[in-house]
């Protein structure tokens, strides 16, 4: 099966083609394949694990193109982001097909990010996907962006049943699979981790997105400042930390580097503490880190240390699949297409507040 994925939840417009181990159109003709890789993603009961078979070589990313909207100043302006996406959509789509070396007729289905996200941005991906599906008579699947981040992480790292720490610009959640759904066990009580980083960056005069530059500055930090630290059970909060850091900087008595170091240490310690608690309660020894903030080296290191100390293992999504990308949407399209009927066009309205637990998981 070969799927075109379209991503447009926030700042990135992406298009990608993924193909599963069964191959493209010809191989997939006939009845839907509900076994194959889906089955190999089941937790392995016996000692003879087939883990080695579950690798990216079987579910190939034929192409993954994207173009990111970067605001001149400040955060993302939703209308401008949407205009950017409309302007770039056809080029990004054509490049994805060209890079994959296929024609649109060789696709088996189309998937797009149906939510959650910013409505003006989401609309662009939905319109492009619907238009292509109708023009080329392709089955369409609206997929959940959060499950896209989780499933690409699971695919790329070969973890089976992890506790997932999903941290991005719009979301920060501790998620795990239970009873046929991905359940949120803990989450931010206010703003997302990436959003807090981007807002701090703005105060420091760093352009959006601020995560990478804060990471670079933090490496030059020397003094660990005391900042607020809020974990409640498996939930956490970043708005107090952010306000405190912004005030400190505005008062002018701290070095940028020290502030970035301290901000990161506090924020990532909160995330790791909540994640560890979820692992203990759920009796899991694997943890998967995914989402845009998963590109952060320090967070990756802290999570690995925590998992190691528990006798477990941390699985880290490769950086190129950490931030928003369309390969994860194409892969989630394949997951759905192998197990579900396509959506009706009338059922593809965007869902800007769509939560992961609302999705019935048919592919595990
Ligand atoms: P979602 O809809 O999943 O919330 P998003 O729109 O936030 O997605 P992502 O690409 O998943 O998009 O995440 C972007 C966030 O990741 C930004 O807040 C950015 O600052 C942050 N980020 C990117 N690289 C790093 C890094 N190296 N360290 C910390 N944060 C990072
Ligand atoms: Fe994302």
Strand partners, 231: 236
Under 8 Å CB-to-CB from 125, ≥6 apart: which residues? 6, 7, 8, 9, 13, 85, 112, 113
pTM of the model: 0.90
Q: Whose CA is nearest to atom 5 of ligand 1?
A: 169
The CA 344 to ligand 2 mean position distance, Å, reads: 25
Strand partners, 63: 17
Supply the pLDDT for residue 51.
Answer: 40
The closest-lying atom of ligand 1 relative to the alpha carbon of residue 149 is 3
The CA 49 to ligand 2 mean position distance, Å, reads: 31
Helix ranges restricted to H, the chain = 25-28, 36-40, 78-100, 119-135, 145-157, 193-203, 211-218, 239-251, 256-282, 297-309, 327-337
Judge whether 257 and 222 are in contact, CB under 8 Å.
Answer: yes
Higher-pLDDT residue of 25 and 217 is 217
Q: What is the mean pLDDT of residues 205-214?
A: 94
Number of residues assigned to the chain = 364
* DSSP SS3 for 199: helix
Pairing of strands 163-167, 286-290: parallel
The CA 11 to ligand 2 mean position distance, Å, reads: 9
Q: What is d(CA 272, CA 7) in angstroms, rounded to the nearest whole number? A: 28
Judge whether 363 and 170 are in contact, CB under 8 Å.
Answer: no
Q: Whose CA is nearest to atom 16 of ligand 1?
A: 292
Supply the pLDDT for residue 7.
Answer: 98
Spell out a b/e string for 36-60, using b for 16 or more CB atoms within 10 Å of the CB, else e: bbbeebeeeeeeeeeeeebebeebb
Judge whether 284 and 176 are in contact, CB under 8 Å.
Answer: yes
Ligand 1 pocket residues where CB is under 6 Å = 9-11, 117, 145, 149, 168-171, 194, 197-198, 209-212, 215, 291-293, 295-296, 323-324
Q: What is the mean pLDDT of residues 272-292?
A: 97
Judge whether 219 and 254 are in contact, CB under 8 Å.
Answer: no
Instruction: Read off the pLDDT of residues 226-236 as tens digits, 9 standing for 90 and up.
Output: 999 999 999 99
The CA 170 to ligand 2 mean position distance, Å, reads: 7
Whose CA is closest to 9, among 342, 294, 288, 325? Answer: 325
Lowest mean pLDDT among 30-34, 127-131, 280-284, 300-304: 30-34
The CA 137 to ligand 1 mean position distance, Å, reads: 34
Q: What is d(CA 218, CA 240) in angstroms, rounded to the nearest whole number? A: 20
Helix axes 256-282, 193-203, angle to 10 degrees: 170
Average pLDDT across the chain, whole number? 91
The closest-lying atom of ligand 1 relative to the alpha carbon of residue 194 is 18
The CA 292 to ligand 1 mean position distance, Å, reads: 3
What is the layout of strands, in order, in the sheet containing 140-144?
A: 60-68, 12-19, 2-7, 109-115, 140-144
Choice from 71, 74, 168 to test ligand 1 binding pocket (greatest atom count within 8 A of CB): 168
Cα torsion 348, 99, 289, 362: sign:
positive
Neighbours of 156 (CB within 10 A): 24
pLDDT confidence bin for 58, thresholds 50/70/90 = low
The closest-lying atom of ligand 1 relative to the alpha carbon of residue 116 is 2
Choice from 70, 194, 350 to test ligand 1 binding pocket (greatest atom count within 8 A of CB): 194
DSSP per-residue letters across 161-176:
S-EEEEE-SS-EEEEE
Supply the pLDDT for residue 74.
Answer: 77
Neighbours of 131 (CB within 10 A): 12
Judge whether 338 and 1 are in contact, CB under 8 Å.
Answer: yes
Judge whether 169 and 294 are in contact, CB under 8 Å.
Answer: no
Instruction: Read off the pLDDT of residues 308-345 as tens digits, 9 standing for 90 and up.
Output: 999 999 999 998 899 999 999 999 999 999 999 999 99
**pLDDT > 90? residue 191:** yes
Q: What is d(CA 5, CA 302) in angstroms, rounded to the nearest whole number? A: 32
Instruction: Read off the pLDDT of residues 86-139 as tens digits, 9 standing for 90 and up.
Output: 999 999 999 999 999 999 999 999 999 999 999 999 999 999 999 999 999 999
Instruction: Read off the pLDDT of residues 7-57 as tens digits, 9 standing for 90 and up.
Output: 999 999 999 999 998 888 856 454 333 333 333 333 333 333 344 444 565
The closest-lying atom of ligand 1 relative to the alpha carbon of residue 324 is 10
Q: What is d(CA 214, CA 226) in angstroms, rounded to the nearest whole number? A: 17
Supply the pLDDT for residue 57.
Answer: 57
Q: Go through the domains of the chain in sequence order and give each one's CATH number.
A: 2-150+324-357 (3.30.420.40), 160-321 (3.30.420.40)
* DSSP SS3 for 28: helix
Choice from 81, 323, 350, 356 to test ligand 1 binding pocket (greatest atom count within 8 A of CB): 323
Q: Whose CA is nearest to atom 11 of ligand 1?
A: 292
Instruction: Read off the pLDDT of residues 219-278 as tens digits, 9 standing for 90 and up.
Output: 999 999 999 999 999 999 999 999 999 999 999 989 999 999 999 999 999 999 999 999
Q: What is d(CA 111, CA 126) in angstroms, rounded to the nearest whole number? A: 9
């Amino acid at each position: 099966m070969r799927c075109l994925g379209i991503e447009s939840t926030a700042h990135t417009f992406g298009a990608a083609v993924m193909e599963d181990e069964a191959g493209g159109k010809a191989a997939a003709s006939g009845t839907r394949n509900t076994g194959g890789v889906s089955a190999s993603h089941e937790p392995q009961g016996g000692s003879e694990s087939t883990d080695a078979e579950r690798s990216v070589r079987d579910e190939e990313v034929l192409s993954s193109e994207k173009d990111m909207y970067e605001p001149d100043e400040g955060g993302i302006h939703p209308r401008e982001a949407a205009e950017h996406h409309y302007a770039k959509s056809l080029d990004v789509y054509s490049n994805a097909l060209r890079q994959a070396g296929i024609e649109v007729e060789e696709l088996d289905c189309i998937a797009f990010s149906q939510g959650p996200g910013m409505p003006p941005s989401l609309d662009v991906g939905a319109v492009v996907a619907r238009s292509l599906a109708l023009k080329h008579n392709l089955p369409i699947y609206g997929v959940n962006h959060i499950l896209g981040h989780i499933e690409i992480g699971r695919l790329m790292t070969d973890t089976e049943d992890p506790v997932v720490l999903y941290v991005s610009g719009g979301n920060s959640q501790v998620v795990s699979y239970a009873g046929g759904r991905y359940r949120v066990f803990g989450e931010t009580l206010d703003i997302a981790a990436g959003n807090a980083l981007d807002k701090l960056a703005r105060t420091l005069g760093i352009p959006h997105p601020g995560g990478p530059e804060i990471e670079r500055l933090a490496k030059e930090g020397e003094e660990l400042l005391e900042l607020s630290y809020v974990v409640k059970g498996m939930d956490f909060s970043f708005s107090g930390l952010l306000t405190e850091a912004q005030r400190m900087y505005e008062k002018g008595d701290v070095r940028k580097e020290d502030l970035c170091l301290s901000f990161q240490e506090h924020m990532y310690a909160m995330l790791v503490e909540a994640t560890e608690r979820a692992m203990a309660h759920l009796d899991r020894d694997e943890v998967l880190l995914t989402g845009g903030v998963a590109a952060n080296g320090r967070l990756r290191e802290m999570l690995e240390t925590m998992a190691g100390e528990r006798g477990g293992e941390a699985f880290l999504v490769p950086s190129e699949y950490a931030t928003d990308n369309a390969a994860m949407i194409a892969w989630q399209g394949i997951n759905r297409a192998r197990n579900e009927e396509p959506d009706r066009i009338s059922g593809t309205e965007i869902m800007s507040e769509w939560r992961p637990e609302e999705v019935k998981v048919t592919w595990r």
